[in-house]
Amino acid sequence: MAEDEDSLEAEIVYPITCGDSKANLIWRKFVCPGINVKCVQFHDHLISPKEFVHLAGKSTLKDWKRAIRMNGIMLRA
């Protein structure tokens, strides 16, 4: 059963955006605070939220949780 749970968990991804850029947040790889954890699937690369914000041209925003949105809502409420 544990393998089935791991497989199911591995499938959980959340579509995210930063400006006009789109990517997926891989939930099982995300660890708080997460800024440097490679948990964002962007094209064919696994990158950190910080790198995603930089590639999206929003690196002037100091708080990545305000720059990245899920369903149009900032990650930081």
pTM as predicted:
0.79
**Domain ranges (residues) in the chain:** 2-74
Query: CA 72 to CA 69: how far, in whole Å?
Result: 5
pLDDT < 50 positions in the chain = 1, 4
pLDDT > 70: percent of the chain: 84
Q: Each residue of 22-40: pLDDT tens digit?
A: 999 998 888 777 788 899 9
Q: State the sign of the Cα–Cα–Cα–Cα dihedral 59, 64, 70, 75.
A: negative
Look at residue 28 in the predicted model and tell me its pLDDT.
Answer: 86
The CATH number of 2-74 is 3.10.390.10
